[in-house]
């Protein structure tokens, strides 16, 4: 490309480079799906007063929802934590059980064991 | 307990080394466990546990530091990055295919893994292998593969764990104390009742 | 504009005033390419572009009764798309802006031209400041003249011309730098 690129070359290049691209076949269905879940917002409030009331209600509802979600999250976290603790204990139990099994076999008369130090 | 503890000395050497090592985040210490859904479908009892770093931290946060046993457990898992357990109990002998076990065993090869112990009881048809993962001479993982007639278990521990400390927790938190068999007649001790259906 | 070509925009508008979502879907398909592209070139992020385009069409659906004709529809879509895109760019901190590679990777249609040059140009356009970028897009993607650009962006005509001049100079300079690096 030469240093002194002509204006027309640049503009031609831009027109070519900036050709429209299609978002894909699923785009329109996704728009319609979004319309389907947000129909309540289609109607605009008739008066400013109604809009303020709607906003205030919406804000209060949001706060309540946030509190409920936080509580639900806490409950879920508690359940998850207890379950994790239970699983930890169980995992340690199984580990210890198998190590004991190894010991039993080693100490039984018929057990044959190979102990190779890892050198660690 | 003293008998139990003294009995650990045969493993204590290399395993203390494991405990003393620093926990390195070596991917090789974490096994790629196959999907055992087919086994689970046939099993009468299943234990399927996967606790990664975040879940271990979550579990640790639910251990009470003011309780001595909880505190001991917390200390025990402090160096861990993951604990993974797959254990299946069946209603009949050798209902699980050896090929499934081999899939895991194949991963436990040098240089990443070294076999620490292998025991085989022809009488009880029990075969246990314990492997340790080492990176530049530092142990950072443990794997146990235990095949019994009606039970198949894999344990993979990523990170460092003091197995002597684990053993000291025996009897706490429902980890039942296991009576050692009489070494003269080779009888097994009472089976623990900790298994459960998932 | 791309689309199924079976209905004119005017027909679709008439049918949509009666609230038919299927007709609105056809309207979206008729115009999606153009306005998605504007959003894409402005935001340089395919996901953000789709999100913004969806919002624009959603807003159109809510305000369909205020649109009087096909040309008004196009003008409205173009105006809202560009204003929303500029708003988003001005609100987002610099680190959150996607790399220009998003925009370059998206345009993969194989049409005659120099793909490397075009890719470079798209990348450079994505680096222009929001207002300059908007002017360049309306000029070279939409083929609008400066007067129409001024109307769409609610910008004084001289400001549009100034943005156009500066942006083209910047693009030319950056392209020359590229040439120097390559030779």
Q: What are phi and psi of C118, to 5 degrees?
A: -65, -40
Which range among A28-32, B113-117, B180-184, C86-90 shows the weakest confidence by mean pLDDT?
B180-184
DSSP-assigned beta bridge partners for residue A84: none
pLDDT greater at residue C15 or residue C74: C74
ipTM exceeding cut-off 0.85 for this assembly: no
Q: Which of C28, C29, C109 is facing A19, going by the closest CB pair? A: C109
DSSP-assigned beta bridge partners for residue A112: B120
pTM assigned to the model: 0.45
Sign of the four-CA dihedral B120, B116, A106, A113 = positive
pLDDT at residue number C18: 43
Burial of B29 per CB tally in 10 Å (0-12, 13-18, 19+): buried
Give residue-wise pLDDT tens across range C90-113.
877 554 444 444 444 444 444 556
Top mean pLDDT of B19-28, C18-27, C68-77 is at C68-77
pLDDT greater at residue C8 or residue A92: A92
From chain A residues 22-61, the ones with a CB under 8 A of any chain B CB are none
Mean pLDDT of A68-95: 83
C-beta atoms of A17 and C125 within 8 A: yes
Confidence of residue C63 (pLDDT cuts 50, 70, 90): confident
Mean pLDDT of B160-170: 70
pLDDT greater at residue A57 or residue B18: A57
Instruction: Evaluate if residue B15 carries a pLDDT over 50.
Output: no
Give me the count of residues in chain C.
183
Mutation to test the B interface, candidates A80, A105, A119, most B Cβ within 10 Å: A105
Q: Is B151 left (phi over 0), alpha (psi -120 to 50) or beta?
A: beta
Instruction: Work out the angle at residue A91's Cα, subtended by the Cα atoms of residues A108 and B187, and round it to the nearest 5 degrees.
Output: 20
Instruction: Evaluate if residue A54 carries a pLDDT over 90.
Output: no
Q: What's the Rg (C-alpha) of chain A?
A: 34
Residue A1: its chain C contacts at CB < 8 A? 117, 175-176, 178-179, 182
A18 CB-near residues (< 8 Å, 6+ apart)? C37, C41, C121, C122, C125, C136, C137, C140, C141
* CA gap A101, A109 in Å, rounded: 14
Q: How far is CA C76 from the centre of its chain?
A: 13
Confidence of residue A113 (pLDDT cuts 50, 70, 90): low
Computed over every residue of chain B, the mean pLDDT equals 73
Mean pLDDT of C46-73: 86
pLDDT greater at residue A45 or residue B71: B71
pLDDT at residue number C102: 43
Instruction: Evaluate if residue C148 carries a pLDDT over 80.
Output: yes
Mean pLDDT of B165-180: 53
Q: For residue A32, how many other CB atoms are within 10 A of its CB?
A: 17
Computed over every residue of chain C, the mean pLDDT equals 79
pLDDT at residue number C108: 44
pLDDT at residue number A9: 86
Residue A99: its chain B contacts at CB < 8 A? 11, 130, 144, 163, 166-167
- Check: CB of residue B48 under 8 Å from CB of residue B40: yes
Strand B151-159 to strand B45-51: parallel, antiparallel, or no bridges (unpaired)? unpaired
Give residue-wise pLDDT tens across range B49-100.
999 888 899 899 888 888 888 888 888 888 889 999 999 998 888 888 888 7
* CA gap B178, B124 in Å, rounded: 18
Please check whether residue A104 touches B, CB under 8 A. Answer: yes
DSSP-assigned beta bridge partners for residue A114: B118
Residue A15: its chain C contacts at CB < 8 A? 140-141, 143
C-beta atoms of A10 and C175 within 8 A: yes
In DSSP notation, C124-171 reads: HHHTS-HHHHHHHHHHHTS---HHHHHHHHT--HHHHHHHHHHHHHHH
Give residue-wise pLDDT tens across range A90-101.
898 888 888 888
Which range among A6-20, C111-125, C150-164 shows the weakest confidence by mean pLDDT?
C111-125
pLDDT at residue number A46: 44
Judged by 3 or more CB pairs under 8 A, whether B touches C is no
Q: Which of A11, A17, A35 is facing C122, going by the closest CB pair? A: A17
Tokens 């080394």 appear where?
Answer: B17
pLDDT at residue number B146: 93
Mean pLDDT of C128-135: 94
Strand B126-135 to strand B138-148: parallel, antiparallel, or no bridges (unpaired)? antiparallel
Instruction: Evaluate if residue C114 carries a pLDDT over 70.
Output: yes
Please check whether residue C81 touches A, CB under 8 A. Answer: no
Assign B103 to helix, strand or coil: helix
Top mean pLDDT of A67-81, C106-120, C141-155 is at C141-155
For B108, the token pair is 């436990």
Computed over every residue of chain A, the mean pLDDT equals 72
Instruction: Evaluate if residue B113 carries a pLDDT over 70.
Output: yes
C-beta atoms of A96 and B132 within 8 A: no
pLDDT greater at residue B158 or residue A112: B158
C-beta atoms of C58 and A5 within 8 A: no
Mean pLDDT of C34-53: 92
């Amino acid at each position: 490309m030469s240093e002194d690129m002509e204006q027309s070359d640049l503009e031609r290049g831009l027109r070519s480079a900036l050709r429209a691209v299609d978002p894909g076949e699923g785009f329109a269905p996704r728009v319609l799906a979004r319309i389907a879940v947000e129909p309540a917002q289609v109607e605009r409030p008739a008066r400013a007063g109604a809009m303020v009331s709607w906003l205030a209600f919406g804000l209060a509802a949001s706060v309540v929802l946030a509190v409920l979600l936080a509580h639900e999250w806490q409950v879920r976290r508690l359940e998850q934590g207890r379950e994790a603790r239970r699983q930890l204990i169980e995992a340690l139990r199984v580990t210890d059980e198998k190590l004991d099994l190894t010991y039993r076999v080693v100490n039984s008369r018929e057990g044959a064991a190979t102990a190779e130090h890892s050198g660690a | 307990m003293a008998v139990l503890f003294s009995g650990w000395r045969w493993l204590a050497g290399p395993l203390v080394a494991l405990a003393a090592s620093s926990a390195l985040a070596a991917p090789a210490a974490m096994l790629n466990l196959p999907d055992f859904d087919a086994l689970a479908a046939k099993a009468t009892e299943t234990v399927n546990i996967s606790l990664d770093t975040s879940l271990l931290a979550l579990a640790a946060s639910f251990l009470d530091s003011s309780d001595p046993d909880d505190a001991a457990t917390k200390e025990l898992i402090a160096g861990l990055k993951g604990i993974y357990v797959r254990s299946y109990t069946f209603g009949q002998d050798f209902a699980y295919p050896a090929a499934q076990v081999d899939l895991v065993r194949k991963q436990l090869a040098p240089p990443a893994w070294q076999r620490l112990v292998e025991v085989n009881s022809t009488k009880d048809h029990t075969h246990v292998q314990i492997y340790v993962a080492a990176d530049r001479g530092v142990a950072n993982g443990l794997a146990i593969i235990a095949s019994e007639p009606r039970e198949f278990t894999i344990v993979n521990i990523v990170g460092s764990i003091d197995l002597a400390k684990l053993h000291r927790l025996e009897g706490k938190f429902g980890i039942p104390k296991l009576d050692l068999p009489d070494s003269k007649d080779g009888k097994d001790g009472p089976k623990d009742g900790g298994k459960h259906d998932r | 504009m791309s689309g199924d070509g079976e209905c004119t925009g005017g027909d679709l508008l008439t049918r949509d005033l009666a609230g038919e979502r299927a007709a609105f879907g056809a309207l979206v398909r008729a115009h999606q390419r153009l306005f998605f592209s504007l959003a894409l070139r402005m935001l340089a992020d395919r996901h953000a572009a789709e999100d913004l385009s969806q919002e624009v069409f959603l807003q159109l659906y809510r305000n369909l009764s205020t649109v009087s004709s096909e040309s008004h529809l196009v003008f409205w879509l173009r105006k809202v798309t560009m204003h929303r895109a500029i708003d988003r760019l001005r609100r987002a901190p610099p680190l959150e802006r996607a790399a220009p590679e998003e925009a370059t990777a998206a345009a993969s249609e194989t049409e005659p031209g120099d793909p490397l040059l075009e890719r470079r140009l798209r990348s450079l356009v994505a680096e222009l400041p929001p207002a300059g970028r908007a002017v360049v897009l309306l000029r070279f993607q939409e083929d609008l003249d400066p007067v129409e650009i001024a109307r769409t962006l609610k910008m004084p005509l001289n400001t549009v011309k100034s943005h156009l001049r500066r942006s083209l100079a910047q693009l030319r300079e950056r392209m020359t730098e590229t040439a120097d690096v390559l030779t």
